[in-house]
A and B are shown apart, each in its own frame.
Chain A
Amino acid sequence: GIQVEQSPPDLILQEGANSTLRCNFSDSVNNLQWFHQNPWGQLINLFYIPSGTKQNGRLSATTVATERYSLLYISSSQTTDSGVYFCAVGGNSGGSNYKLTFGKGTLLTVNP
């Protein structure tokens, strides 16, 4: 199956700093999503981005499908950005529209 690797595993920032999270995947995909899990466990879909670039406020994401990686940018970080950021991909094989493979996540801590 598809392998998903995220880096760094942990990241500590001061409020106001910028950061870049990376997701590498081992095969071609037709779906790539970034999620944020808050400290209480709630998972929120940030971006659906199988290719190209998208922006939503202070967050933006870029996926280079031909090189099998995606980047999540967080600018002017706030303490509420703390939590775990997951990358998840869906492959091109049959049934892939129903399945996501998750990376292990990046644990982000933003200190005031």
Chain B
Amino acid sequence: DGGITQSPKYLFRKEGQNVTLSCEQNLNHDAMYWYRQDPGQGLRLIYYSQIVNDFQKGDIAEGYSVSREKKESFPLTVTSAQKNPTAFYLCASSDRGRVETQYFGPGTRLLVL
């Protein structure tokens, strides 16, 4: 079955700790995205990548980092510089240049201890 997997489903972070969220897709999509969702809010774009080894900042990139070494994978690191990381994180992928074909993963809930 084609789709997007995100792991873990729940993640706990201690103060000052970096954590990495995994996102893998087997849809053969060139583009991948990371969004953040806070309670009662819409999704906000953190980073996106249209092709391997290239990525751009979205609206709220501060405190986050990404890599795109493989077409199938787009991991997101939440660094200690992100002062309010508690949120629901969604990964998506699409055909390159066609955001309307976005397909979303099931999400990761990050909580700060």
A105 with B104, Cβ < 8 A, contacts A43-B90, A97-B98 known:
no
Q: How many residues of A contact B (CB 8 A)?
A: 23
Question: In the complex the two chains form, what is the Cα distance from A99 to B40 in whole Å?
Answer: 21
Q: How many A-B residue pairs have CB under 8 A?
A: 58
Chain A min CB distance to B106 (Å): 6
Question: In the complex the two chains form, what is the Cα distance from A44 to B104 in whole Å?
Answer: 7
Residue of A nearest to B92 (CB): A43
14 A-B pairs, CB-CB below 8 angstroms?
A: A4-B42, A33-B100, A90-B100, A97-B97, A99-B45, A99-B48, A100-B99, A100-B102, A102-B42, A102-B43, A104-B40, A104-B42, A105-B41, A105-B42
The interface of chain B, by Cβ under 8 A from chain A, is: 31, 40-45, 48, 50, 56, 58-59, 88, 90, 92, 97-100, 102-104, 106-107, 109
